[in-house]
Amino acid sequence: MSQKLHAVISARLFTDQKCFGPGVAELLNRVEEHGSLRSAAKSMEMAYSKAWTIVKNAESCLDVKLIESSTGGKNGGGARLTDKARQILSAYESYRKKLIAFSDSIFNEEFADFL
């Protein structure tokens, strides 16, 4: 069985190092969904320490705070995205969708004889 030819486009943001990409975006989305970095990491089958490192590296590279954490207590601890994190996620997703649409257009033009 022959599979349809297609391109796979991935967007990653860099300074002198990788700052932000699909993995960071998914982790932040899961923090929003689960209300904690630990639960977000667990849902991705990722060690909490790795998730923490990913977030701290992205924050350092982007020079913005992405997650606000609260410690335990009566209502338990948790984490939430900052407004800047929501803005970055929104911009990243918009950029990614436009990039994919543009890529699909070029791909269909350049590979029309192979589709």
pTM beyond 0.85: yes
| Measured distance CA(84)–CA(8) in Å, rounded | 28
Fold assignment, 18-114: Arc Repressor Mutant, subunit A (1.10.10)
Determine the angle formed by the axes of helices 83-110 and 22-34, rounding to 10 degrees: 140
Q: Which stretches of the chain are DSSP H helices?
A: 22-34, 37-43, 48-62, 83-110
Q: pLDDT tens, 15-63?
A: 999 999 999 999 999 999 999 999 999 999 999 999 999 999 999 999 9
| Measured distance CA(110)–CA(114) in Å, rounded | 9
Mean pLDDT in residue range 96-110: 96
Sign of CA dihedral 20, 26, 31, 37: negative
Domain ranges in the chain are 18-114
- What's residue 102's pLDDT? 96
